[in-house]
Structure 1
Amino acid sequence: MKNILYIGRHPEILETVVRLINNNEDWFGAGAETDEDAMELFERIHFHIVLLGCGIEPENEEKLRTFFKSTNPDCAIVQHYGGGSGLLTNEIRMALENHNMA
């Protein structure tokens, strides 16, 4: 089971992305709207991938990236630009392959 954290500022998109992740029986998806919620989840659950959604301010994104990498250097951090479920699935699969987690 691969754990995937999605961080997004838009509740409807967050809900959709997490649902799409959880449609794959090999993945567990969780979502967070705020940086604080994301960091709290990250400390409690061993995530393999973090997907950064749209709307995260550059300074917050840098803070999050630094936190995630210092907490779990093996975690893949991927910028998620949206699109359909096919694009999301490909982003996740490529991240797993690129980090030898497939």
Structure 2
Amino acid sequence: MKIHNVLVVGKNEAIVALLIKLVNKYPELFALGTCELEEVPTICQISPVDVLLFSSGLCLAEEKDISQKVAQFHSNVKTVEHFGGGSGLLRTELNQALGLILACPE
């Protein structure tokens, strides 16, 4: 089974931590994240990124800048903007981005 790597980026530490926890409940996914935008290139150098998951607090210019930085390292990265709505919505967004059907975590 291929493990898909998810990079969570947002401004609220508690929300980023929660999203990492939710994503990591799926055996097909591995998430890490940051609230420090300057850390994104370093993370991309040491870890593959299949999905860039934006959380709350970022302005459009920051999202664009982050997307460009990630694309320099991982040209086929998929982007998901998740601003709440529960883990069911998150699962659907990840399914669509990756073309998967993630089972509900137990």
Q: TM-score, normalised by structure 2?
A: 0.86
Match in the other structure for 1:63: 65
Q: How far apart in 1 are the matches of 2:41 and 2:10?
A: 13
2:20 is aligned with 1:13: no
* Matching residue's letter, 2:9: I
Match in the other structure for 1:76: 78
Q: Give unpaired runs (5+ residues) of structure 2.
A: 101-106
TM-fit CA distance, 1:60: 1.5
Displaced runs of 4 or more, over 6 A? none
Q: Which is richer in helix?
A: 1
Q: How far apart in 1 are the matches of 2:67 and 2:81?
A: 11
TM-fit CA distance, 1:38: 2.3
The alignment of Structure 1 onto Structure 2 pairs a total of residues equal to 98
Structure 2 SS opposite 1:29: strand
Structure 2 SS opposite 1:42: helix
Q: How far apart in 2 are the matches of 1:39 and 1:18?
A: 19
Q: TM-score, normalised by structure 1?
A: 0.89
Q: How far apart in 1 are the matches of 2:72 and 2:44?
A: 11
